[in-house]
A and B are shown apart, each in its own frame.
Chain A
Amino acid sequence: VGRDPGVARLREPEGRIMFQYMMCFLIFTIGIYAVAGKKNLVKSIFGFIFMEYACVTILLLGSRNNMQVQSPVVFASVLLMTGLASTLVLCALVMRIFERYRTVDPNNIRKLRG
Chain B
Amino acid sequence: MNEIILPLFIVVPLIAAALCLPLNYVNKRLPFLIAHVVTLFLLCISIAVIFMKPAESYMIYRIGSLPAPYGISLIFDGLSILFITIINFAAFMICIYSASYMEKYSGKEKYFALLLLMLAGLNGVVLTGDLLNMFLFIELASIASACLVGFGTGGEETEAALKYFIMGMVASMFIMLAIVLIFSLTGSTNLAEISVQLPCCNIAMRSFVIMLLMFGFLTKAAAAPFHAWLPDAHPVAPAPISAMLSGVLIKVLGIYTLIRIIFNVVGMSFSISHTLVFFGGLSIIVGSLLAIGQIDLKRLLACSSIAQIGYIILGVGLATPMGVMGGLFHLLNHSLIKPLLFLNAGSIEHSCHTRDLNKLGGLGQKMPVTGMTSMIATFALSGIPPFNGFWSKLFVIIACVQAGSIFAAFVAVAGSIYTLYYMLKVQRLAFFGDLPTELANIKKTPYTMGFSMVILAVLCFLFGVFFQHAISLLINPAVTAVSNGLAYGKVVLEVL
A23 near B: Cβ within 8 Å?
Answer: no
B287, chain A: closest CB distance, angstroms: 13
CB–CB B173/A55 < 8 A: yes
Q: What CA separation (Å) do A85 and B158 show in the bound complex?
A: 18
CB–CB B135/A82 < 8 A: yes
**Secondary structure of the B side of the interface?**
helix
Chain A residues numbered 69-114 whose CB sits less than 8 Å from any CB in chain B: 69-70, 72, 75, 78-79, 82, 85-86, 89-90, 93-94, 96-97, 100-101, 109, 111-112, 114
Known contacts A55-B176, A93-B161: A111-B156 contact under CB 8 Å? yes
Q: What CA separation (Å) do A79 and B236 show in the bound complex?
A: 31
Chain A residues near B187: list those with CB within 8 A.
63, 67-70
When each residue 31-61 of chain B gets 1 if its CB lies under 8 Å from chain A and 0 otherwise, what string results? 0000000000000000000000000000000
B69 near A: Cβ within 8 Å?
Answer: yes
Q: Which of B155, B161, B184 has the most CB of A within 10 A?
A: B184
Chain B residues numbered 146-180 whose CB sits less than 8 Å from any CB in chain A: 146-147, 150, 153, 155-156, 158-163, 165-166, 169-170, 172-173, 176-177, 180
Q: Quick one: which of A48, A70, A97, A112 contacts B70, CB cutoff 8 A? A: A70
Minimal Cβ-Cβ distance residue in A for B182: A62
Q: Which of A1, A82, A114 has the most CB of B within 10 A?
A: A82
Q: Quick one: which of A32, A79, A89, A101 contacts B147, CB cutoff 8 A? A: A89
Known contacts A52-B176, A70-B189, A89-B147: A58-B184 contact under CB 8 Å? yes
B32, chain A: closest CB distance, angstroms: 25
Chain B residues numbered 92-109 whose CB sits less than 8 Å from any CB in chain A: none
Chain A residues near B143: list those with CB within 8 A.
85-86, 89
B398 near A: Cβ within 8 Å?
Answer: no
B317 near A: Cβ within 8 Å?
Answer: no
CB–CB B181/A62 < 8 A: yes
Chain A residues near B188: list those with CB within 8 A.
68-70
Known contacts A68-B187, A112-B163: A96-B158 contact under CB 8 Å? yes
B77 near A: Cβ within 8 Å?
Answer: no
Q: Which of B139, B160, B189 has the most CB of A within 10 A?
A: B139
CB–CB A112/B160 < 8 A: yes
- B residues neighboring A (CB under 8 Å): 69-70, 132, 135-136, 139, 142-143, 146-147, 150, 153, 155-156, 158-163, 165-166, 169-170, 172-173, 176-177, 180-181, 183-185, 187-189, 193, 228, 231-232, 236
- A residues neighboring B (CB under 8 Å): 1, 28, 31-32, 35, 41, 44, 48, 51-52, 54-56, 58-59, 61-63, 67-70, 72, 75, 78-79, 82, 85-86, 89-90, 93-94, 96-97, 100-101, 109, 111-112, 114
- Would you list the 4 A-B pairs with minimal beta carbon distance, nearest first? A62-B184, A68-B187, A69-B69, A59-B180
22 A-B residue pairings within 8 Å (CB atoms): A1-B70, A31-B173, A44-B166, A51-B176, A55-B173, A55-B177, A55-B180, A56-B180, A59-B184, A63-B184, A69-B187, A69-B193, A72-B183, A79-B176, A82-B135, A82-B136, A86-B172, A90-B165, A90-B169, A93-B158, A111-B156, A112-B160
